[in-house]
Each structure stands twice: as structure tokens, then as C-alpha cells.
Amino acid sequence: MASTTEFSPGLAGVVAGATKISHVFGEEGRLIYRGYDIRDLAAQGSFEEVCALLWDGRLPSRAELEELGQALRSEYAVPEEVLSVLRRLPESLPPMDVLRTGVSLLSSVDPEYGDDSAGALRRRAIRLVAKTPTLVAADARRRAGRPFVPPDPGLAFADNFLYMLHGERQPSSFVAALDKALVLHADHSFNASTFAARVTVSTLSDMYSAVTAAIGALKGPLHGGANEAVVHMLDDLHTVDDVDAWLHERLARKELVFGFGHRVYRVDDPRALILRESAAVMAREVGAFEKFEIIERLRELMLKEKNLHPNVDLYSGIVYQRLGIPTEFFTPLFAVSRMAGWTAHVIEQLGDNKIFRPLASYEGPDHLAYIPLDER
Ligand code: COA
């Protein structure tokens, strides 16, 4: 067994496992899924195609893609017994908590529960990816005081999600923009939530427990929650002229500037560059170009002052706002997409499993003499 006593906070620089699913080339600013560049997949592929790629390791044929699309569409519906529990949750509970609860509850309606054969795992992954948007849309509609819109099994994934959210079909340019964002967020190597999923299932627990743990990890503002934090942060900025002073004060207070920096990328996050193009188009469409220019000025200054590049979360907010997605649902939407990656990683982990059990650098006292309770 390889052994190292060197302590790396946050496991930075530590190789914690092997994967064939995706890889981040941090110095080059390149992300690949199963060998394919994310730029090509975002330009030409679809989210359903990416699911097939992540789960099966290769691009599907037309017939295979049709079959997978059909399998996903047949699993969009979430049983009433799960939806009724979610409806009883207080509205003060953040949407990510509702989603975490809903996804956890899906295990109770899994007809193959306990079967961890390869076929059952893949079907479970399909179920999870298919049902997550229904849970998210149901919660968004409830909070908006509007009736639940059941999924339409005749619609493709992104189209159906926007339909459930808004209660009517959205323009094809919106569907395409969402599909692209879903492709970009589907996987990202051993990020915190994916690692949480792999650690959980490495105990031979189950896929539902793994993705529930992953949702909990994604919620935090240092990970998936950053996209919402960016939007709240930008609310303080009204014109480009505000940016310089605002940023200098924020940095002087040693506060984070959300949407910048990354553990692995040392150059531009390629997902940010792709979303930047979509954001620019959408900002122009809604006459919100000032917001876009504010972000661009921030980008310029952060590079100069801190040598930090934008990450994927800097631009996704503008795109999601244009699609009519409420801010508190940005992170749940991230989960909708990343469910594809989490489930692929769970399947891969179980295929060649070793329980995660690292060492810790113990920094507490030792050899203390026990003092009986009434002598303390
Ligand atoms: N704003 C201000 N300072 C930042 C920063 C940011 N967004 N990101 C990193 N830094 C600072 C760190 O505090 C650190 O400063 P120090 O050396 O004085 O302690 C320095 O830059 C180097 O940080 P680094 O080691 O590169 O970051 P990390 O790997 O520990 O953390 C993130 C990576 C993503 C958690 C971090 O960049 C961050 O919190 N970003 C904001 C949240 C965000 O957008 N998350 C989404 C990620 S996709």
C-alpha cells in the first residue's frame, strides 16, 4: 500500500482515485468527458447524448440515443407519494434542502431497490436524472403559488424542464441555451460533490445515499451555491463605474469574489468562456448589457489584482435569469445536470471499489490523565 504522511489541506494536489469519466486540464483550461472536448459537446451534442457518453463510455448511435431518450422520458413522472411529502415541507426550507429530501425519498419508489447489478444501476441512473427536474420544477411552482405541471413525456429533457417550470413551452433558443448549460455542468472530475458521492458509495451503501450526500455538498457557496452568490453579489453593482471601488473594498475586507478562482484551473474555465458567449447574447436581448459590462470589468480587475480567472458560475446567472429561472433555483438546476455525472461516478466506483479511508494529521493532545467527573 502506498503511504504518505504529507498533509495536503483540502486534499489539494492529491490523487484520490482513478476515473475514465472526465478530466480537467487545469493549466490548459480544457475539460473532457470520456475523451471528448467539452467545447465540441456543447456546440454539437445534447444533454441526453452526454448522459449516454458518461454512463456508457462512448457516444451513442442514433438508435441508442433514441432508446435512451425514450427511457428518460418514460421516467420523468414522480409518484404522488413523494410529491406529497415535499408539499408538506415548510417554504422556509431552501430549495436545495427540498431537493435533497426529494431525491432521498426516490429510493422508496424504486421498483428495483437493492438490485445493484449493472443493468439495475444504469436504470437507476436514468430514473434519477429523469426525475430530478420534476422535483425541482414542482418546488419552484409551489413557491410561486402556481399549480404543479406534470412532465410531458413527448418532450426532450431541457424542453420538458422549462415546460414544467413555466407551464408552457419556451422558445427553441431558450431550450438550446438550457441544453448547453446542462451539457457544461454534467461532470467535472473529482469535485467536492462527486467525491462525496464516491466516498458514500465506497462503503457499499447505495446510489440514492450517494447522490443525496452529493446534493448536500453541492449546496455550499464554495461549490454549486456560488452561482446564486454571484447574482446576489452583483445586485450591489448598478453601473460599471461602481466596480473599481466596490472591488477594492471587498478585497481589502478579504471577502471572496464569487465566480472567480478554481482549485484546478489556472487559466480561464472553458465552461465560463462558452457561457460568456450565451450570456452576452442574452444580455443584449433583454437590454441588460450594463450587467454584462459590470461582469467584464470585474473580470479585468480580478485578473490584474489577484491573477484569478472567472469560473463557470460567473456567467451562468445571466443565462438562467433570461430563462426565467428564479435565483434560488440556480443550484438545484446545477444538480439536475450534475446528477448525470454523480450517477456515472457511482457506477464507476462500484465497478472497482475500495472504501475511502484516508489518514488524518492528529493535532490534539495525547497521554492526558483521566480526571474523574467529581474532581473536575
Ligand atoms: N475571491 C477572492 N480571493 C480568492 C478567490 C475569490 N473568488 N478565490 C481564491 N482567492 C484567494 C484565496 O483566498 C487565496 O488567498 P490567500 O493565499 O491569501 O489565502 C488565494 O486566492 C489562492 O486561492 P486558491 O488556493 O487558488 O483557492 P482554493 O483552491 O482554496 O479555492 C475556490 C478554490 C473555488 C473555493 C475559491 O477560488 C473560491 O472560494 N471562489 C469563490 C467561490 C466560487 O466561485 N466557487 C465556484 C467554483 S466553480
Whether the Cβ atoms of residue 26 and residue 12 lie closer than 8 Å to each other: no
Whether the Cβ atoms of residue 35 and residue 25 lie closer than 8 Å to each other: no
Per-residue pLDDT tens over the stretch 250-276: 999 999 999 999 988 989 899 999 999
Please name the residues in contact with 277: beta carbons below 8 A apart, sequence gap of 6 or more: none
Per-residue pLDDT tens over the stretch 229-238: 899 999 989 9
Enumerate the β-bridge partners of residue 31. Answer: 24
Set of cell numbers at residue 120: 439495475
Ligand 1 centroid – CA 262 distance (Å)? 6
255 CA closest ligand 1 atom index = 2
Enumerate the β-bridge partners of residue 24. Answer: 31
Domains defined for the chain, CATH in brackets: 20-219+329-351 (1.10.580.10), 226-322 (1.10.230.10)
Whether the Cβ atoms of residue 343 and residue 124 lie closer than 8 Å to each other: yes
Task: Please indicate whether residue 49 or residue 285 has the higher confidence score (pLDDT).
Answer: 49
Catalytic residues: 262, 313
Is 314 near ligand 1, meaning CB less than 6 Å away? no
Protein residue with least CA distance to atom 29, ligand 1:
263
User: What's residue 4's pLDDT?
Assistant: 63
Confidence of residue 175 (pLDDT cuts 50, 70, 90): very high
Per-residue pLDDT tens over the stretch 178-208: 999 999 999 999 999 999 999 999 999 999 9
Ligand 1 centroid – CA 81 distance (Å)? 42
Is 164 near ligand 1, meaning CB less than 6 Å away? no
Set of cell numbers at residue 276: 460568456
Q: Which of 366, 159, 334 is closest to 229 using CA atoms?
A: 334
Is 262 near ligand 1, meaning CB less than 6 Å away? yes
Q: How many CB atoms lie within 10 A of CB 369?
A: 4
Please name the residues in contact with 182: beta carbons below 8 A apart, sequence gap of 6 or more: 47, 50, 157, 158, 336, 337
Q: State the Cα–Cα distance between residues 180 and 43, nearest whole angstrom.
A: 8
pTM over 0.75: yes
User: What's residue 282's pLDDT?
Assistant: 83
Q: What average pLDDT does range 61-79 have in this prediction?
A: 98
Per-residue pLDDT tens over the stretch 15-57: 999 999 999 999 999 999 999 999 999 999 999 999 999 999 9
> Is 287 a residue whose pLDDT tops 80?
no
Whether the Cβ atoms of residue 135 and residue 99 lie closer than 8 Å to each other: yes
Please name the residues in contact with 35: beta carbons below 8 A apart, sequence gap of 6 or more: none
Tell me if residue 260 falls in helix, strand or coil.
strand
> Is 2 a residue whose pLDDT tops 80?
no
User: What's residue 99's pLDDT?
Assistant: 98
